[in-house]
Amino acid sequence: MGHLSGDGMIVRRAVFAILISGAMFGISAQAPAADLVLPRPEPLPIWQADVGARYWYSSGRTALDLYGVGGDAMVSRLTYKNPNGHAAEAFGRFDHLATNLFVKGYVGLGRLAGGQLNDEDFPPDTDPYSSTLSDLRDGKMTYASIDVGYDVWRSGRVRIGGFVGYHYFSERLNAMGCRQIATSTICDPAEASSVNVISQDSRWHSLRLGVAGRFDVTERLSVAVDAAWVPYTWFDGEDTHWLRIGSNFRDFTGPVPDTGSGNGYQLEAVMSYLVTDALSVGVGGRIWSMKSDCTTHFDGHIVGVDAEPQPSDWATRRYGVFVQASYRFGSAAFGR
């Protein structure tokens, strides 16, 4: 055979390369499937947690209306006006993304300062009418809330859910000094501002039924609203008239308890900004309002008198603004 030309050699080598490639492919195709290594997809996150801290500045009003034994006429009124609060608070929300269930809540501790107590006593039990003022000082408050809920709507930038929960609010108010601003001789001459004349301890245990929603205005900015109806709240408190605790006739043996039940509402809104994909800062406001039909238990608490319980109304309202910072664990931001 004669020598192949240059073009023939090129064709021969191409055919040989194709045959070798086909043989190698056939061998690899016969390899067991178990020997093949395929990339595994990243698991989708099924939970998300936001935890953070707040500073809450608030003010408010707590009041007692006390009626005679028959409940037909008011005999006394205590109005604690504008006790300003400074509270540190921890909060969090935990979402199970696969089921749309969530748990959220907060716990806080604060101090109450400023404001006044207006103590009024009415004829015929107190004649002439008495109205005294005292300064509020060295008070404190403790509060906590826990809710369990379900997001009924999660789409795009909107999240809406319902929840049921429990709320606890406790406050202690101390009235210092006493001066008469009507015509009675009570606190005339005035008691020194260093004298603790009345202390009020109040505890509210509330059932919450509500709606929680969030709307992402932009990729970084969101608005969240929490609205709760309080169909039932239990009030438990003690009123201590320090100057009337003693052994004299009609003096108190100690703190006078109050108990009762009622209802109310609680609202909260916050605007948050994502500084990073995990860290956010925000500003918001809230209001709590609860009232209760109560019984003031003078029975067994007045020296030398077989006293009877008397009907009363207790009400409290606390409102204010807060700043917060929170950190997100688990998945990326909702809706992104």
Distances (CA, A) of 41 to 44, 52, 331, 332: 9, 32, 16, 17
Q: Which amino acid is at 29?
A: A
Identify the H or E element spanning 21: helix 6-29
Residue 26 lies in a domain: no
User: Please, what is the Cα angle at 85 between 197 and 82, to 5 degrees?
Assistant: 60
CATH number at residue 217: 2.40.128.90
Residue 211 lies in a domain: yes
Question: Phi-psi region for residue 145, left (φ > 0), alpha (ψ -120 to 50) or beta?
Answer: beta
Residue 335 lies in a domain: no
pTM here is 0.84
Residue 17 lies in a domain: no
Comparing C-alpha atoms, which of 277, 287, 279, 258 is closest to residue 331? Answer: 277
Q: How many domains does the chain have?
A: 1
Residue 13 lies in a domain: no
Residue 312 lies in a domain: yes
Residue 93's pLDDT is what? 97
Q: Which domain holds residue 116?
A: 45-329
Residue 323 lies in a domain: yes
Residue 115's pLDDT is what? 96
> For residues 267 and 212, is the Cβ–Cβ distance under 8 A?
no
Backbone angles phi, psi at 5, to 5 degrees: -70, 175
Note down pLDDT in tens along the chain; length 336 residues: 444 444 444 434 544 444 444 444 444 444 444 455 556 655 556 899 999 999 999 999 999 999 999 888 999 999 999 999 999 999 999 999 999 999 999 999 999 999 999 999 999 999 999 999 999 999 999 999 999 999 999 888 999 999 999 999 999 999 999 999 999 999 999 999 999 999 999 999 999 999 999 999 999 999 999 999 999 999 999 999 998 887 676 689 999 999 999 999 999 999 999 999 999 999 999 999 999 999 999 998 888 888 999 999 999 999 999 999 999 998 644 444
Backbone angles phi, psi at 183, to 5 degrees: -110, 0
User: Which SS3 state, helix, strand or coil, does residue 116 take?
Assistant: strand
Residue 45's pLDDT is what? 67
Q: What is d(CA 1, CA 193) in angstroms, rounded to the nearest whole number?
A: 128
Residue 315's pLDDT is what? 98
CB atoms within 10 A of CB 39: 5
Residue 27 lies in a domain: no
